[in-house]
């Protein structure tokens, strides 16, 4: 059984799930360029947090990866107007599924940490009952970890990282004269959803806005 003091040590020394800054992101960037920069960082953030996530002794790794899935989902939804919906939808579905499985692993992690604290403060008479709760929750944790391992294998098999990279790859279509002129003059892009003067969507993964 994992003791409360040991769990507190892991918690105190764990790297917090802080959002990484987006290099070069400014208010003068085009909407699609901002999408490219932001989604790239949030994607890397997600997969970097996958290291050690199946180690049940490092419970903050799951928390960090779960937070990363939420951030990635948020930016994908925010930049949806300039992304190809047919490609975006299955990516969003898998990101949400991954977040759900991470949450199922996270719940017993948190419960075990609390139970360890209760056990440390409990009387001799109370401790056996708490230990039974710990044993049951540990089984749930192992089951959730097995499901997470399967989900991670599926993510790798489906090449989620590669599909995210392709989603934000610049369109191969040629830039229209109007877009070229606007870019040369340094004009700010129309906001997503704007009708007047908005450049037409291109074929390809990223619709330039």
Residue 133 has pLDDT above 60, yes or no: yes
Whichever domain contains 112, its CATH number is: 1.40.20.10
Structure confidence by residue, pLDDT tens digits, 94-104: 999 999 999 99
In a domain, 12, yes or no: no
Residue 59 has pLDDT above 80, yes or no: yes
Residue 165 has pLDDT above 50, yes or no: yes
Mean pLDDT, rounded, for 42-69: 93
In a domain, 153, yes or no: yes
In a domain, 123, yes or no: yes
Total tally of structural domains belonging to the chain: 1
8 Å CB contact between 145 and 105? yes
In a domain, 206, yes or no: no
Residue-level pLDDT at 182: 47
Alpha carbon distance 128, 115 (integer Å): 12
Residue-level pLDDT at 3: 45
Range name among 24-33, 121-130, 131-140 with the lowest pLDDT average? 121-130
- How high does pLDDT run on average in the chain? 81
Q: Write the DSSP string, 10-28.
A: HHHHSPP-PPPP-TT--TT
Domain that holds residue 116: 30-171
In a domain, 192, yes or no: no
Residue 83 phi/psi, 5-degree rounding, is: -115, 150
- The reported pTM is 0.73
Alpha carbon distance 1, 4 (integer Å): 10
Q: Write the DSSP string, 26-68.
A: -TTS-HHHHHHHHHHHHHHHHHHTTTTTT-TT-HHHHHHHHHH
In a domain, 51, yes or no: yes
In a domain, 3, yes or no: no
In a domain, 110, yes or no: yes
């Amino acid at each position: 059984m994992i003791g409360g003091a040991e769990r507190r040590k892991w918690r105190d020394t764990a790297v917090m799930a802080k959002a990484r800054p987006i290099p070069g992101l400014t208010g003068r960037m085009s909407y699609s360029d901002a999408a490219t920069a932001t989604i790239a960082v949030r994607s890397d953030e997600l997969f970097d947090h996958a290291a050690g996530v199946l180690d049940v002794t490092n419970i903050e790794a799951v928390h960090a990866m779960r937070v990363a899935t939420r951030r990635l989902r948020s930016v994908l939804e925010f930049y949806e107007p300039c992304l190809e919906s047919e490609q975006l939808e299955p990516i969003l579905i898998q990101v949400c599924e991954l977040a759900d499985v991470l949450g199922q692993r996270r719940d017993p992690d948190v419960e075990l940490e609390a139970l360890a604290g209760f056990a440390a403060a409990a009387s001799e008479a109370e401790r056996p009952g708490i230990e039974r709760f710990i044993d049951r929750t540990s089984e749930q944790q192992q089951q959730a970890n097995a499901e997470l391992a399967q989900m991670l294998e599926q993510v790798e098999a489906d090449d989620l990282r590669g599909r995210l990279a392709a989603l934000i790859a610049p369109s191969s279509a040629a830039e229209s004269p109007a877009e070229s002129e606007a870019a040369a003059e340094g004009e700010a892009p129309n906001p997503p959803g704007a009708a007047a003067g908005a450049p037409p969507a291109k074929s390809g993964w990223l619709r330039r806005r």
